[in-house]
Amino acid sequence: MDLLPAHASVAAIGAGSTWWLYQRVKNRDFTKAVRSGQRLLAPITGSTVYAAAALTPGTSWWEIPLALSWGGLMAAWLPVTRSTWTPPAHLTGATVYPPGFPGLVMRLWDQHEVAPGTRIERVEQTLSPQHPDFVCEIVAPQGTAVPRIEATDIAACFGVPTLCVDLAETEAGPGRIRLTVTPSRGSARSIEDVWAARIAKPGGAIPGSTIVRVEHRPAHGQMPAHGMILAAVEPGEVARVNHDQLCSAFGVKAEEVRLVAETRGSEVLVTLYEQAPLTVARRATRDMLSLDAYGRYTIGTAHDGRDAKVHMRSASGTLHGFLVGVTGSGKTVCLALMCAAWALAGLTTWVTSARPDAQMSAVGRHVDRQNSGAVFTWWMLKAAIALMDIRGWMNAEVGHDFSAHSPYPGLTLVLDEFNSLVGDDLFGDDIAQMTDVLAREGRKFGIGVVFAGQSLNLDKLGGSASLRDQVQGGIGVVLRIAGGIAARQATGGLAGDAELAEIPDRFGAHTSLMDRMLGTDTDVPGATTQGTGHTVTGSDAVMMRTLYVHLPDDGSPDGLADIFPEDGAINVLTDREIDALTELGLWHDWTMQPPTGKEGGDEDGGGGGGVIGSFAPPPGVARAK
């Protein structure tokens, strides 16, 4: 045949088969190379026969018998190409396992790749040939240490509970680790026995506690599999949890954020996850931030996947609250969510902070007033105190204190970096005094104070006990706080007696001491815990992660328009209130020096006067008859 398509087809078949066989040989997989050689013998040799005939001029006599001989040989070879012959192990280099139980242990270890590069040696059954309890040695390559291995991975490899696995260093050093697996012992020790021995003992993580109920929940969606233990102490006692001890008892590290303990009086609920449940934050929407039938909105996602909700108003009717978190903990995003929720509920919001902040300035475009500095804060609080008198006369006219039926909107005052504001040399004392007045008396006028900062120091506020009673029942969010500071200290007592687990800066970012010793630590950081913290109501706390809204630090557009009112409207005071504040000289940009006698100011001059407290009713508000 002198047709180019025929030549090209045969050349493609021959070249493709040769390349395929070369790949098998190149990968050093002897078994596959032999099988491929068997099956590709026909197309490769056939291509050779065809090439010999095509390159020979004319038609030689030997071409006919050559083709017939080749066909016969390939027909005879066909059964061989379909055989299941496997080359001996000594030819392939495959691992030869000893017979019986030791070989089974070694094979399972290699198949599951618990610690690649290591091998199992000296397998000995410890009880009898009928019991699967055994001891062996994990051996690393010469001159290297056995890498860090989790007990849970070993337990999964051999199909036993984690409590049945023990690791210990041998006399040979870190290159050989002794592994003991005792499923017989583990099956005899119930969770109640382990709880009593490790947790409920005097000085344990939850002294005097007993298990009430145990639940196991499979993985669902993004929620990892987890177990839940409900325990309780004796009636009349209060459950106390040492979170670090509890993590140690269950063999997990606190920085992994896999164990959550929630206390309610004499009861405690312990939830242990296979992996950290709060690694993904949900994007905020208007629906989530809108009030439900009980006056709550969703601020984040609880560790168990439910919505983490907070009340806009406390049980006592206040709009107060607090937010604590160090730099980088997600505090600004949380404040943006709160401001959006208040806007969707029809509240007016004034925001102040110690220093200018670009992200808070972005939030300021969606609220009534936002700025920074002690001067702005002084005027803002002064106007709010005057507003109490103005609203007092309005309340008298309608015959009730602030409610959803009041002729004016609720007002929330956000005091970010509160410690710095009250620490100002010139205006700090005034700010503290006015804040105290508003926090104690603002409820019936619909005025709430939200304290925010890296920590809160309320010592300069008078009547701290009364203040805590007013604020504790409202919005309470504690994000990551400075290491070594208890939640009660960081929140100035506003978190009550709630016991909050410490939130690390990253999930599982810390290197264990075993890793340090063996030199197997990694410099790959864990995922950030930004937004992870607790919602706090009274002494109840729920670990959660706040919703996410885009607040860029690179100048790109933010996502605030997606959570504030869709029409872009900003809630403001009523005209009557603004007119009254204008009459008092308190409705301006709040950047001029206050008339307090400081820095040459006239104590008796200017709008507002120098006395902190009530104002006489302005001309624009008539007294009720």
pLDDT for the residue 607? 40
Average pLDDT per run of 10 along the chain, which is 625 residues long? 78 84 72 76 84 78 82 81 61 74 91 90 86 91 89 87 84 89 67 85 92 88 88 91 88 86 90 89 95 93 92 87 90 95 96 92 94 96 96 94 94 95 92 91 94 85 62 78 71 73 78 61 74 83 93 86 93 96 94 68 41 45 36
pLDDT for the residue 556? 82
Bridge partners of 267, per DSSP, are: 232, 264
- Give the three-class secondary structure for 357: coil
Residues 6 or more apart whose CB falls under 8 angstroms from that of 391 comprise 402, 406, 408, 445, 446, 447, 577
Contact 533, 503 (CB under 8 A): yes
pLDDT for the residue 489? 74
pLDDT for the residue 207? 93
Taking the CB of residue 586, how many other CB atoms lie within 10 A of it?
Answer: 23
**E strand intervals along 188-306:** 210-217, 226-232, 259-264, 267-273, 296-302
Sign of the torsion formed by the C-alpha atoms of 459, 461, 466 and 467: negative
- pTM for the model: 0.68
pLDDT for the residue 411? 97
Give the span between the Cα atoms of 300 and 303, in whole angstroms.
10
**E strand intervals along 172-225:** 173-181, 210-217
Sign of the torsion formed by the C-alpha atoms of 150, 152, 153 and 159: positive
Q: Give CA separation, 430 vs 64, 433, 599, in Å.
A: 113, 5, 15
- Look up residue 533 and give its two tokens: 């913290």
DSSP H or E segment with residue 475: strand 475-478
pLDDT for the residue 603? 41
